[in-house]
Amino acid sequence: MRLFLFIILFVAVPTLPSFAQSQNEMTQQAWAEFEKADKQLNDVYQKVLKSMEDDIAKQKLIAVQKAWIKFRDAQAELDADSERGGSLANQVMAESETVMTKARTEQLKKYLADQTSK
C-alpha cells in the first residue's frame, strides 16, 4: 500500500505538468488528467466492443469492465484514505484512478491487438 502511494506521489505526479500552485489547483489538475485518461480508456473499450463478433464474449467484457470500474474506484478510495480528512485526499484519489485507468487502457489495447492479429 505504501509502495503504491510512493509510486503515485513520487513517480507519477512529477510526470504531470506542474503549473498549479494551490492544493485546490493541483487537485483540479489531477482530476483533469484522470478525465483525459478515462476518455482514452472509453475510446479503446468501444473499439474492443466493436471488434467482438461473439455476443457472449461482449457480455463478458461488459461485466468485467463494470467490475473493474468498481474495483478501481474502491482502490482509489482506499489509497486516498491515507490522507483522510486532509486536503491531499482528493488529489491522491484522482492520481490513483489515473494510474489504474492508464493501466487498464493498456490491457485493452493488448487485448484488441491480440484479437485483430487472429
DSSP assignment of 89-106: HHHHHHHHHHHHHHHHHH
Tell me how far apart the alpha carbons of residues 97 and 35 are, in angstroms, rounded to a whole number: 10
**Mean pLDDT of the 20-34 span:** 91
Q: How is residue 24 written as a grid cell?
A: 485546490
**Mean pLDDT of the 95-112 span:** 98
Q: Is the pTM of this model over 0.85?
A: no
Contact 93, 26 (CB under 8 A): no
- Give helix then strand counts, H and E, for the chain: 5, 0
pLDDT value at 26 more than 60: yes
Instruction: Specify the DSSP element, H or E, that contains 48.
Output: helix 23-51
At 117, is the pLDDT very low, low, confident or very high (cuts 50, 70, 90)?
confident
